Chains A and B, each alone.
Chain A
Amino acid sequence: MIIDVHAHIGCDHRFGFRLSAKDLVAAMDKYGITYSFISSMKSLIYDYREGNDDVEEACTKYPKRLLGLAAIHPLYGEEALKELRKRLSRKEFIGIKIHPFYFNTPANSPLMYPIVEEAIRMKAPLFIHSYDGGIEVSDLADRYPDAIIVMYHMGGGDWEEGVLRVKKYENVYVEMSSSFVDIGMVETAVEMLGEHRVLYGSDIPFQTPAISIAKVLEANIPEYVKELIFYKNALNLFNLRGEYDRCF
């Protein structure tokens, strides 16, 4: 049983990626992934609202497999806030996707503040791409201790720094995907943050789900902690227990 808190649909022509919702569900079946949290690559590299339309359509089509993350672009100001409210009021969406690199706005920029404040008000978690060793995310978490933040990629290549930087912020959880399959990644995260703050994510199609699965399976941690990482932490953190009780 696995919950993947980091997946994509859509196309990224730079790398020849094309992944429809149907293809994604087929991949999930292959790797034993029950639920995936998805955003659209279209939101990241073309138009964030059109990408959200695609996510909504996919989650409507596969309501028991896909949960939507609404991509919210900080440079669009009030329009972005309206988009946030609109999407998060719908059952297809579970959180907010922020990509500082593609949105050309640091995660700790003042332009992000209204989005984070609205997320706190709506009790919506923020899923933030982080490849800077956790610098921006830790700064944001310091300012907003009530925000629930999932730091994607554990901070990237400098994942040890990333984990260390967010250690003291109990409202920050880390997701492990990236091309790095370094020995000891997951052990370090569990040791520094505790077993409840580490989540499985694949970043499909940039990574095959096998990469993060291998990181967890090879980690020198107890089996029950692997279960926490693979799905139980996500179930608890995102209040999925009632509606998604097929996990039990």
Chain B
Amino acid sequence: MSTPATHGTEGAGTLVAVWAALVALTATLVAVIRYAPGNPGIVATMVITPTKAALVFWFFMHLREEGRAIRYFLFAGLLTVIVFVGLMMLDYGLR
């Protein structure tokens, strides 16, 4: 069973735009943490970091061309880490 080889739905322009967004998001994150430390920094991290990762997954790693199976796989992996950290916090977060 083969799949068509050239299915590059994104052009080079899109890739560069994604890169620019990633750098901009990084700068934003650094700025928030530098100039509004404490809770804004934490919120910014929890929003920006997954967003950056999502951009890499979706565009650079061609997740938007993949079928449901692989997308669910990634979701399962991410959910696993999140759940592990969450349950750990029942111990460490409440000490």
Real complex partners, A and B?
no
B residues within 8 Å of A by Cβ? none
